[in-house]
Chain A
């Protein structure tokens, strides 16, 4: 499903020098896999995930999704990709404070249509029930706990039924019990919906929930 070949990425380090974060990443992911990528802070995990989410451009290499080169096409193709094919769970959740939970979940719908369809409204309800936040639908993000916010972000990532779910430190700011519940959810989604999941985490315990664990070190995956 996913094929990364020779992906490189550099960033300026503030001293007029450039730091190479990714030094030629090769990765192959099959459809339906649950993969965890581990690494120390600053190792480039979020950068790699952002490239996989088509959020940033690599400096070099190739990214194929379902055999199609992701980068190099029209911007509308990437928009469509990010909207329908890929669901992203951000580390800091990034919920819109002015929208209630349900509306936050439905937000991706408006990228391609003027309003949510009845099916989408119903599916949002299903997702909220699946993640146990259906009773919080009318609440606003300021009123949620970390776990509840995490689950909301997860539902938002899934509302468009993407083939690929990317999760950046989904348990990063949560306690052990809440982290476990998030991980179980991810496993459930992977199992029941067949969604390919690539998760980034610095926690071995979190990463152990995945089927395959990769380590990012010195800009290379192993």
Chain B
């Protein structure tokens, strides 16, 4: 009963995440940018734009220039998150891939880094007057959700270890449309339940910044308006 509920929850969450984000991405891709609006100085070649975007999503270049504290906490959280996600791949493959094994020792510390980053960001929402002003309840809830996920994850690593082989069997089963037994350990269930919630809210929340950044015209456009004419389909129709 418990295993079946969680199986359904994860199938539903995955479907909502994939379909929801896909719909948004299709929309972002379909809606034209009628004018050339890269924030200049901007790259003048496609390769340059790819490099700019790479620096933006890997190093958070603009944020670094803007505010060192937000950068420190934000970057620490996101990089920690990547390592933790990579570490979790082992629960979805029968044989553990070599590069996932490589991330294993780092993934643990990354969990702490992630938590530290989140708490730093959350503290700023209370302590910095300007950021307190712009915060909505959802901004606090999102941080609470992520802190709870990271916290419950670390608890399972260091305090109350679940039967991890059963968890892996359950996940591998889901991938093959079979429902295996999920250990009924409270912390595990909380962890998994919150992850499912995160997946569900992804397409209807500010987490859309993740796909959104790639579609931001001020960052992804090439600075070449004099060389190449840029024309949106609806604008072309004005020319009749």
Interaction A to B? no
